[in-house]
Amino acid sequence: MAATLKSIVPLFVGIVVGAVGLSLFRDSLPGEEGSPEERVVELEAALKKAENRIVAFEAMGRTDHRGRTLREGIGDLAQRIRDGGKVTPDELLRATQPLTRDLAPFFERIHAKRLARQYDALAGELTRKYGLNDDQAARLKSWFEQHAQDQAERWVDLASREGASMEDLMEASMEARADEGLDEFMGGILQGEAGAQFRSDRLHEKAGRVQDFADMRVERLDRVVGLDDGQRDLLFGVMAAASPDYENSMQFEGSEGIITPQVGVDREQAVIEALSPGQRAAYEAFKEEERAKMNEQMGEFGLTLPADWDAFDW
């Protein structure tokens, strides 16, 4: 059984995470040798491997919400590609969800252990930086272990939830924070000067993240449409307020003074309203060109873009 479980992990990662990678569409797919037909053959072979490697689970009678087995779901997708059709990343996700549900405890453990290794370094840094005693260090380590388990459970629950999409997984991955809830926990064990220093350090660290988050998005838009200083400041405020790390006490300096982040606004609408007619035309043309390119690239793998795909990650 252990060998079977180990072999199923690459299957899940290869199909689900691989499909996520294709659907994230943040960067162009790296070029590969061979014709589009050869790429389709490669995907077909990968799907065939998936079919073969889940035969053992058929005896358990696992089905999706429509009563189909996991093998049938994968087989349907493979047949559609053989027939020259295309599948969406969300269809790949749904085809693997019966397996995700069946092996949820195992996937949670794998994910939690990977997160725990990352958190060990962070716990060590905090222990050294703020001079935690043995009891405080042990409590911090225990908190991180529970935090890793909670995050793993949320991730697997989302990946196996009926109606979940690759976009949902992408957003959850982008918004996940290793230090979510850390401020409250450390506030309970650090007092006096150490506590004040921690709060100051955290605000500075988060402000840096917010600035990076906003700068990256504004810079990308600037390369497409050419923003003036006023537009840059305005849209920086829109993007900064959308960062998961943004706090109302943060202040940012722009070319024309202090930037006031705009909380709760629709980012796409804010961008459109900030652009001139000529810039809007360039913006829309760029998005159409990027969609055409990505559709072509994904089409070589027998995949198609989601209907609501957008070249800009607002």
Task: Render each residue's pLDDT in the chain as its tens digit; 314 residues.
Answer: 333 323 333 344 444 444 344 333 333 333 444 455 555 555 555 555 545 544 444 444 455 555 556 567 677 777 777 777 778 778 877 887 777 777 777 778 877 888 888 889 899 999 999 999 999 999 999 999 999 888 888 888 888 888 888 778 777 777 777 788 999 999 999 999 999 999 999 999 999 999 999 999 999 999 999 999 999 999 999 999 999 899 998 989 998 889 989 898 999 999 999 999 999 999 999 999 999 988 888 777 777 877 777 888 66
- Check residue 1 and give its pLDDT: 36
Pair 152, 108: CB distance under 8 Å: yes
CA separation for the pair 149, 210 (Å, rounded):
26
HSE-CB for 270 with a 13 A CA cutoff: 22
- Check residue 71 and give its pLDDT: 66
CA separation for the pair 314, 301 (Å, rounded):
27
Three-state DSSP at 303 gives: strand
Q: Per-residue b/e over 75-90, b at no fewer than 16 CB within 10 Å?
A: bebbeebeeeebbbbb
Specify the DSSP element, H or E, that contains 254: strand 252-254
One-letter amino acid for residue 55 of the chain? V
